[in-house]
Amino acid sequence: MSFLYFYSSKTLILKMSWTQIESDPGVFTEMIQKFGVKNVQVVDVLGVTKEAFRSIGSPLGFIFLFKWKHNQNFEDGIVLEDKPPNLFFAEQKISNACATQAILNLLLNINDPEIVLGDELTRFKDFSKNFSSDICGETIRNSAVIREVHNSFSRPEPFIMEETVAKEDDDVFHFTTFYPQFDENGEGGIIYELDGLKKGPILHTGFEGTKWLIELVSILQNRINTYGTELRFSLMAVIKDKRFVAKKKIEQLTKELNGMDEKITDKEEKTLTINKQIQELSNLVEEEQSRMEMAYRENERRRFNYIPFFIQLMKGISEKNMFSGLLEKAEEDMKIRLDKKKRKDELKKQMEKKN
């Protein structure tokens, strides 16, 4: 299967290559923004529990990273041969593209007037609305704009490395999307999993009201439990941009404040309360802006090519004949760490015998 190709180098070696994407909310948020989408951000979810999900607010969907296994079948949903006419789903046709595929499968299903898809994705959605899942995947593969945004997170490398095929015992990780499709009245709906490696969307379960998060907790917990002791999972939520939500509330509170009747008895108290809320929301906007700018800086570091720096550093160390001392110190430090680990393992075995 083509998606199981690893690239030893993250560089864009050929024009049609797609780089690997890190599971990081800052990366996904900037990718969404580069597509032209507005008022959306991605955040980490710190646990698959009802409490963790409630703390998010009202997520638009989730992106789940898990260890992929050959011939893996979770049997926790029904793979639909034909996607519903009102649901976007694209099969994955590109190596290393499951991150972009996951976010596109979610973004192109969001029907919220406050979420602005932007010109590029709007055109893409209109162009592909009558396509099959297979052709939608091919359309993504052939989109120069989508490929360019995806590869904007690659790091330029001076070496061209040969690509290799993942072996049976290699660790291969894959992104999939969970999306709640509400009915027309918004009083319930269906939870779909949009996994590009499947032939169609996976229908998981229906839900009433807005209780889809409760159902999703159960789905994800059961999925994780099938892995036994495996702990390498990542879950991110796609939400409305916290800055956008806070600014909208500030605008509403400001209108309420300006339109307050002069004759009400507790006007002073209400004014203080509203001003306090506005200040708290303004602080939230500043905090989120700082967090976003920090994520942008981190992404710049991801793109930066550090190899020339390390080459010059090694040359400088070599010219000053410092390698021998550094190597001896490294060997000594390694011996100390191994001795500590050995003593720790021996102590652990002794404790197990006593118990």
Q: Is 204 a catalytic residue?
A: no
Sorted by sequence, the CB contacts under 8 Å of residue 137 that are 6+ apart come out as 90, 91, 92, 93, 101, 196
Catalytic residue among 136, 150, 174, 204: 174
Are β-strands 202-208 and 234-240 bridged in parallel, bridged antiparallel, or unpaired?
A: unpaired
Q: Of the ranges 75-79, 193-197, 281-285, which one carries the lowest mean pLDDT score? A: 75-79
Contact 108, 154 (CB under 8 A): no
Task: State how beta strands 172-182 and 78-79 pair.
Answer: unpaired
CATH number for the segment(s) 2-240: 3.40.532.10
pLDDT tens for each residue of 148-187:
999 888 876 655 555 555 555 667 789 999 999 998 888 8
Per cent of the chain over pLDDT 70 is 89
Q: Which residues on neighbouring strands pair with residue 78, listed in sequence order? A: 203
What's the pLDDT at 13?
A: 40
Q: What is the pLDDT of residue 162?
A: 54
Burial (Cβ within 10 Å: 0-12, 13-18, ≥19) of residue 204: buried
**pLDDT at residue 71 above 90?**
no
Segment 50-58 shows an average pLDDT of 89
Structure tokens at 129: 């609305």
Is 174 catalytic? The answer is yes
Per-position b or e across 155-184, b if 16+ CB within 10 A of its CB = beeeeeeeeeeeeeeeeeebbbbbbbbeee
Q: What average pLDDT score do residues 194-218 get? A: 91
Tokens of 330: 């490294």
Read off the pLDDT of residues 255-286 as tens digits, 9 standing for 90 and up: 988 887 776 778 788 889 999 999 999 999 99
**Choice among 34-43, 72-81, 193-202, 328-337 with the minimum mean pLDDT:** 72-81
Catalytic member of 98, 136, 150, 204: 98
Q: What is the residue type of 189?
A: G
Model pTM score? 0.79
* pLDDT surpasses 50 at 5: no
